[in-house]
Structure 1
Amino acid sequence: MSPATAVVLCALAWTVFLGAHLALNGRWWPWLAVSLLPPPLFAAAPLALLLAAAASGSVPGAVLAAGCLLAGWRQSGVNSRAVRRSSPERAGIRVVSWNTQHWNQGREPDRFYAFLHSLPADIYLLQEYLNGFEGGEVWDIDDEERLRREFPGHHLSVDNNSVTLSRFPPAGPPVPVGACSLRVDVRTPDGILSTYNVHIPVQLTVMNPLSRAFFQDMRRRHGARRREYDALVADLLANPHPFLVSGDFNTSAAIGDIRRMPRAAHDAIGANRSLFPASWHARWRLRLWRIDWVFTSAGVRAEQYTFRDPGGLSDHLAQDVTITTTAIEEMNR
């Protein structure tokens, strides 16, 4: 077999795989395991095939590889907007969103709150307001007294194991969304802004991948994730206010569930200056990829967007985003 033929066969194999991935990802529950592939693979594999096609002189291989690169680019997690010239910093509303990984369980509370104070935000969206074991039992906690003491200038909302702290007064009672997320509407100088504090359940439990229990658990988790996404999307579509959605989606760019977000929700990653932004794993020297997201609607613009190292307090980096809002009429999407 000639090198050119080998390149064509490899490119064809990747084309078939990518087609199946785009068709089944987020739709068929067994593909959830496949979708955990590293997002950079969807750029690295076709780029490698392009180089091999160039070296072997395989035009069909190059065409297939180029097509795969374009078709799978959004799966790669590469932030191509990072190469744009950065805009001047503008004052706005600072929002910090962070999966605390079981709050301050097993850690010093003073360090936990010191980290939050090191990021002085107008709005905090904090997930996993609970204690427990990874993949096992969890239980509710009550840290409201200390929260009120630490943040006397913020309004506190707690529900669905989520904490929202806002310097702006609430425009109504907090609204649980699904079983894991929390909506809080706040009155900003430009009007009401809906904040969504999101936590989508993780895809898999670490166990023997050849066991029946593994597949039963994956199917159950696929259903739970779909219900959470459906509840979030339904609330967003019915919401007349401009919004900011942020939290731990447990979803990389290669996982099709993120396509469920409505068109009115715009990924804020363009305000980030990293070519390959990563929010997990915060305790590892090599950060893997982004599973924490920020979305904004019309009337809300992300000006700066950065990931902050929590210093070992969680496996998630904190999302630090500054937004500006425009006084606009109530929107019916």
Structure 2
Amino acid sequence: MSPAALVTLCALLWAVFLGAHLALNGRWWPWLAVSLLPPPLFAAVPLALLVASAVAGSGPGAVLAAGCLLAGRSQSGVNYRALRRGSTRTDDGSGIRVVSWNTQHWAQGRDPDRFYAFLHTLPADVYLLQEYLNGYEGGEVWDIDDEERLRREFPGHHLAVDNNSVTLSRLPLAAPPVPVGACSLRVDLRTPGGVLSTYNVHIPVQLTVMNPLGAAFFRDMRRRHLARRREYDALVADLLTNPHPFLVSGDFNTSAAIGDIRRMPRTARDAIGANRALLPASWHARWRLRLWRIDWVFTSAAVRAVRYAFRDPGGLSDHLAQDVTITIPHEELNH
């Protein structure tokens, strides 16, 4: 087989795989294991095939590779908007700063003073904090009560706690907090111009680390797939009936390559355009090489993200903190 024919065959095989991935991802639960592939592969493989096609002189291979690069761009986790000059809007200091962070079991096993000191390094108007609990991976978890210290550390903030989530806000609550599904918390805030809904989200993880050849692995994967779908369905249903501008943020345990993220409604816009990183990553915070993004910020059309960055928690969690500043024209808010 000639080099050109070999490259064409490889490009064809990748195209078949990509087609199956796009068709089955997020729809057929066994494909969840395949969707855990590193998202950058969906850009790296077709780019490598393009280079190989050029070297080998394979026109069909180049066409297939280019098509795969375009078809898989949403799976790669590449922030193409960062390539556009001026893609980030200017923050004039009048926005609402939101910090969203999976705390990894709150301050369990760590110095609580360091935990709160880190939060104070990010003086936000709104904090959306996940995993307000203690426990260990794959085992029992315990509810905790740290409200006294929260109120002491953040005087003047309004506190909402439910579904193992904490929402702290300088802005007053416009209505009682609403649990969404079993893992998210909606809090409506009263801004100077009207109501803004915040959603503090934590979607369950996809897999438990166990023998992938055993029947228990597949039973657990299917159970987790159904649990994740319930959480996404509850979140989407609330968003679709919510008349207010909204911000949705938290740990989705979903990379760009996992089809579950497609469940988010079209009215929810990914805020990553306000981030300047070409390959934004929120996990794993304790590793020198950050992998990819599994924490997300979505906003309604009326809410504009003007700045979006990930902050290193200094070993306090395996998730980086999301730091986003938003603005909302007063005429867009519902009174």
TM-score in terms of structure 1 length: 0.98
How do residues 1-333 of structure 1 correspond to structure 2 at under 5 angstroms?
1-86=1-86, 87-91=89-93, 92-328=95-331
Whole-angstrom distance in 1 between the partners of 2:158 and 2:317: 24
Task: Give the Å deviation of 1:89.
Answer: 2.6
The offset of 1:330, in angstroms, is 6.2
Q: Match for 1:82: what amino acid?
A: A
CA distance, structure 1, for counterparts of residue 197 and residue 91 of structure 2: 24
CA RMSD of aligned residues (A): 0.9
CA deviations on 1:103-139 (whole Å, 9 max, x unpaired) are: 0000000000000000000000000000001121111
CA-to-aligned-CA distance 1:179-225 (integer Å, 9 cap, x gap): 00000000001210000000000000001111111100000000000
In structure 1, C-alpha distance between the alignment counterparts of 2:90 and 2:32, rounded to whole Å: 40
Unaligned runs of 5+ in 2: none
Q: Supply the distance in 2 between the matched residues of 1:328 and 1:114 (Cα, whole angstroms).
A: 37
- Partner of 2:64, secondary structure, is helix
Number of corresponding residues: 331
Structure 1 counterpart of 2:261, one-letter code: I
Q: Which 5+ residue runs of structure 1 have no aligned equivalent?
A: none
Contact 2:253 2:295 in 1 (8 A): yes
C-alpha displacement of 1:327: 1.7
Q: Secondary structure at the match of 1:235?
A: helix
By how many angstroms is 1:97 displaced? 0.1
Q: Is the 8 A contact 2:127 2:167 kept in 1?
A: yes
SS at 2:129 equivalent: strand
CA deviation vs aligned residue, 1:261-307 (integer Å, no higher than 9, x gap) = 00110000000010000000000000000000000002110000000
1:157–1:174 CA contact under 8 A, matched in 2: yes
Q: Secondary structure of the equivalent of 1:176?
A: strand
Distance between the aligned counterparts of 1:171 and 1:224, measured in 2?
Answer: 30
How much identity, in percent, do the aligned residues show?
A: 84
Residue pair 1:240, 1:330 contacting (<8 A) in 2 also: no
Give the letter for the 2:172 counterpart. P
Cα distance in 1, alignment partners of residues 267 and 149 from structure 2: 37
Q: What's the secondary structure of 1:90's corresponding residue?
A: coil
Contact residue 40 and residue 77 of structure 1 kept, 8 A: yes
